[in-house]
């Protein structure tokens, strides 16, 4: 029985280690998605500035 408990303990430790690796991977993915979201927001902001310039006919926008 002690041997079985040792195997069980080893299995539980391995599972905890795997879950830790999974958690780290999920955190990295969340960071990447955060970076992507930030980049998308900046792009939308830039497109909004460009659109505003085109509509208002600013000289720097290329339309008059």
Distance separating alpha carbons of residues 56 and 50, to the nearest angstrom = 10
In what helix (H) or strand (E) does residue 11 lie, and over which residues does it extend?
Answer: helix 2-56
Token pair of 15 as six digits: 């599972």
pLDDT (0 to 100) of residue 64? 47
Residue 45 is predicted with a pLDDT of: 85
Domains identified in the chain, total number: 1
pLDDT band, very low/low/confident/very high, at 62 (cuts 50, 70, 90): low
Per-residue pLDDT tens over the stretch 1-59: 668 888 888 888 888 888 888 888 888 888 888 888 888 888 888 888 777 776 666 65
pLDDT at residue 50, rounded to an integer: 74
Domain that holds residue 18: 2-61
């Amino acid at each position: 029985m002690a041997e079985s408990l040792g195997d069980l303990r080893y299995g539980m430790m391995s599972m905890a280690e795997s879950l830790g690796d999974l958690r780290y991977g999920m955190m990295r993915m969340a960071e990447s998605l955060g970076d992507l979201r930030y980049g998308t927001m900046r792009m939308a902001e830039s497109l909004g500035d460009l659109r505003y310039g085109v509509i208002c006919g600013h000289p720097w926008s290329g339309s008059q």
